Each structure stands twice: as C-alpha cells, then as structure tokens.
Amino acid sequence: AGDSSKITLEGFVKESTPPYQPYTGVPSQLKEDNKVALPLLSEVQVLSIYNKETYIKETKTEEYCLFYRDWLSQPDETVCTQVRGAEMEPLLKEGSVVALNIGVRDPALLVGRICGIRVKGTGGGGATPDKICFRWLKASEPYLVFVPQQEGHPILCLPTAENPIIGRVEGAWVRF
C-alpha cells in the first residue's frame, strides 16, 4: 500500500535519504553544513584506489553525490559508485548508487554487513578485467564467506589472506 518510493530498508536505506541527483559543483563550495559531496567514481577508479594506484583526493570526477555527513563514519574515506548486476536485488538494484567506505576493510568488523568486493578477472590481454560486486559478509574465519541477496548467484568463499574487501556499504540511493 502506498508509494513504492517510500519503501525503506531499515538500517540501510533511510527514509529521509535525499533523492539521488548528481552534484556537479565544487565540493569545497557546498553551502550545506549537514551534507558532504562524495565523488561518484567508475568501477575502474574505485579499483585503482583499492589497488593503491591512486588516492581519493587525486581522483578526477565530474559528479558528486550529496550525503548526510552524520550518516557516514569516515566521509573522507567514502566514495560512491554504481551497482552492476542483480545479485543484491531487491535490496540493491542494478544502477543503484552506493556510498562505499573504503577506510573499513577489516573482515572481523564487517560480518553481517554489505561489502563491496573485488572479483578477480581472468587476466591477460583481452581477458575479463577485475570487477566490483556487492555481497553480505557472513563469516570471516576460517574463510571469508560472501553471500548474495538473490538466490541463484554464487556464494564466494575466499581465503582470509586474499582480503578482497574494498569497503563497507554505508548507504544507497536505490532504484525502485
């Protein structure tokens, strides 16, 4: 009953989340003290930060996402990126934008949370590149166990030494 745009997913998508609209201004000139402008990055840019090839502040972007400062544990360590794939539907639909805190990567702190993780490509010329997927972290010992929201998609079990966690999802603009 009611407008589906008012659906909330408690503890994740907050009812008062401002509607997603790209902010193309200069982040330092944002006049709203209660909001922060997070860079909206491509999958390649986020993976570059994960691989320590670049830093958030060095990354060039044309668009930003406005997010309430109080909802973020580390605004300076948080970026936004789009969800690709259906493995987290209906929670995160294809094209949704997530706020990803790349400062939180310790698996012991993330059990029961949604994480952005790197899935290795096949490597080599013309092969499949690395990509980002989103999963619930269900266990951190003896293996990292990442579970999709949607049945029929693979559960990923990885050795703890290969920590593929890019960061913790702290919120989202979900496409309904």
Report yes or no: 77 and 108 within 8 Å, Cβ to Cβ: no
Query: In terms of DSSP bridges, do strands 97-101 and 114-119 run parallel, antiparallel, or are they unpaired?
Result: unpaired
For the chain, the maximum distance between any two Cα atoms, rounded to a whole number of angstroms, is: 52
Residue 35 is predicted with a pLDDT of: 83
Helices (H), the chain: 43-50, 107-110
Q: Model confidence over 1-43: pLDDT tens digits?
A: 333 333 334 444 444 455 555 566 666 666 667 888 899 999 9
Each residue's pLDDT, cut to its tens digit, for the chain (176 residues) gives 333 333 334 444 444 455 555 566 666 666 667 888 899 999 999 999 998 888 887 888 888 888 888 888 898 999 999 999 999 998 898 989 999 999 999 999 999 999 999 998 766 666 678 899 999 999 988 999 999 999 999 999 998 888 999 999 998 887 65
Residue 71 is predicted with a pLDDT of: 85
